Structure 1
Amino acid sequence: MIVEVIPTIVRWYSQASFVFITHNQAQRADLMRHAAAHGIEHNLYLLGTIGEEEKLARLRASDVLPFPSRYEGFGLPLLEGMAAGVPVISTDIPVVNEIIVHSENDLLIPYDDTDALVHAILSVLVDQRVRERLIAGGQRTLNERFTSERLVRPIIAVYEKVLAGR
């Protein structure tokens, strides 16, 4: 979906850059073919393996993290985006919609809706108040629901219960 919206975003922001981190050579070739066909190859950067520090630096330097997933097992990229202070746009699917509350801590779009993705990306790029509200909401979500203390305490309690029952 992101590849499909790049030409529209570039029409609005000619200097927009899109960074993909992919190890799949076939996907890399498809992305570059699409970019060349639409004259946006100078807006597209394909990275291979990068370390966690570089990933965090790139997230922090981003204006938006479009992540229109078709399936998510947990949603770690969403939390990484929130932690980096970047607005996240993702698909309204299970797991994602358990983390993202639309317009409060990030944005949800309907499944496979490229027009909604364009609109959401542009809303974050155009309106600083929207951007700031989403970033603040993401930080609240992390602080209220995803602290290491809150996530680890129940796991430790299970282990303690098992050990006590031996």
Structure 2
Amino acid sequence: MSLALSDIEVIAPHFKRRLSGVTSTVIQLVPIQNSLGQKVTTFGPGLPDTLPSMRWHQLPLLWQPPEGRRHRVWHARRNIEMLPGILLRDVLRMPLKLVFTSASQRKHTGWTKWLISRMDRVIAVCQRTASYLERDSEVILHGIDLKRFSPAPDKHRAREALGLDPQQRYVGCFGRVRHQKGTDLFVDAMIRLLPSRPGWSAIIAGRATAKHVGFEEELKARVKASGLADRIRFVGEHTNINDWYRALDLFVAPQRWEGFGLTPLEAMASAVPVIAADVGAFVELIVDGETGAIVERGSLDSFSDGIASYLDDVEKLESHSAAALKHVTENFSVEREARAIGAVYAEMLANR
């Protein structure tokens, strides 16, 4: 959808065609931002046609600020989006203010540090990300769509609809199948725990890209050798992943590294407590001992112990399920995220 720029106050560039967490963030946020009156358009490839977008031939129009403003906001989320913003503002002298959202949790290269230093404002997606920035930033945690991710009215029927045994309880691990995501830790924990717990089964949902197919095949062979192939299921990638969350009783996020990680929020919004590694923003999303548990990254023993404490305690499971739903509903809606970002825009757009 193309539109006139005369009223647009914020440009959200997107310069990668490959689907990523940044892509999902833009797709989710922009419609809500506009519904809140923030006047945002996207710019670049790889996004649905349903989003408002600016075309390349409209770039010269950026020399003219929107009515009633002295400049627009250019909201970058990658290096390749910061650099064009700097060129447009500092070389072509377009009236732009630049903001960058950082999700990285590692030391930045000199090049990235320089790009970030040229931004007018910086947003960090969590406190751990902010700790790697050598400048002031505003921490705004991601939110999720609470209409899409919500509890099942009837968990037995939710399982039946997916071809699962409605009488079993299920523990799940969703996301790309690869070593970084810790899928092997989940599989090994299930092989260790399920034989003595016949009422539980496990689901791995997600895709292995070409580079990681061998890793996935090795895990499937491990499951087959354990005799648990009927109870540890690889179900592949699904667009209706929200329905799979509703079938779960417990979720595991075993990542060895993560920039932010939305899966714990999606699970908790479905009234499913979460066992998660101490990576990414997980410690800022999960209330340890109330909505789930934080365990040691990369430790099979730590994961197994944490998971077992829920498999063997139905009262704890149900109590933490209710607490997880309440926690996410009160603190992690995408509307809350959009309003917090909108407050940053408002400060940048204020005429001084």
Q: TM-score, normalised by structure 2?
A: 0.44
- What are the Cα deviations for residues 40-72 of structure 1, in whole angstroms up to 9, with x where unaligned? 222222122211xx3112111112111111122
- Compute the displacement of 1:15 (Å): 5.1
**Residue from 215, 227, 231 that aligns with 1:43:** 231
Matched residue type, 2:216: R
Matched residue type, 1:116: S
User: Using the alignment, how far apart are the partners of 1:58 and 1:18 within structure 2?
Assistant: 12
RMSD between superposed Cα atoms in Å: 1.9
Alignment match, 2:197: 13
User: Using the alignment, how far apart are the partners of 2:206 and 2:339 within structure 1?
Assistant: 34
- Compute the displacement of 1:141 (Å): 2.0
Secondary structure at the aligned position of 1:158 is classed as helix
- Compute the displacement of 1:116 (Å): 2.4
Alignment match, 2:295: 109
**Residue from 31, 34, 37 that aligns with 2:219:** 31
Alignment match, 1:78: 264
Specify every segment of 5 or more residues in structure 1 that has no aligned partner in the other structure, as ranges.
none
**Residue from 265, 277, 282 that aligns with 1:96:** 282
Secondary structure at the aligned position of 1:41 is classed as coil
**Runs of 4+ with >4 A deviation:** none
Larger Rg belongs to:
2
Larger proportion of helix: 1
- Compute the displacement of 1:110 (Å): 1.2
- Compute the displacement of 1:77 (Å): 0.1
Q: Equivalent pairs: percent with the same residue?
A: 29
User: Using the alignment, how far apart are the partners of 1:94 and 1:109 within structure 2?
Assistant: 13
Specify every segment of 5 or more residues in structure 2 that has no aligned partner in the other structure, as ranges.
1-184
Matched residue type, 1:21: A
- Compute the displacement of 1:86 (Å): 0.9
- What are the Cα deviations for residues 72-91 of structure 1, in whole angstroms up to 9, with x where unaligned? 21220000000111111011
Correspondences of 1:120-131 after superposition (within 5 Å): 120-131=306-317
- Compute the displacement of 1:155 (Å): 1.1
Secondary structure at the aligned position of 2:276 is classed as strand
Which gives a bigger RCO, structure 1 or 2 (Cα 8 Å, sep 6+)? Answer: 1
User: Using the alignment, how far apart are the partners of 1:59 and 1:12 within structure 2?
Assistant: 24
User: Using the alignment, how far apart are the partners of 1:42 and 1:125 within structure 2?
Assistant: 18
Secondary structure at the aligned position of 1:112 is classed as coil
- Compute the displacement of 1:9 (Å): 1.7
Equivalent pair of 1:70/1:111 in contact (CA under 8 Å)? yes
Structure 1 range deviating more: 2-11 or 18-27: 18-27
Does structure 1 residue 4 correspond to structure 2 residue 200? no
User: Using the alignment, how far apart are the partners of 2:334 and 2:226 within structure 1?
Assistant: 44
User: Using the alignment, how far apart are the partners of 1:47 and 1:11 within structure 2?
Assistant: 21
Larger proportion of strand: 2
The size of the alignment, in residue pairs, is: 164
Alignment match, 2:166: none
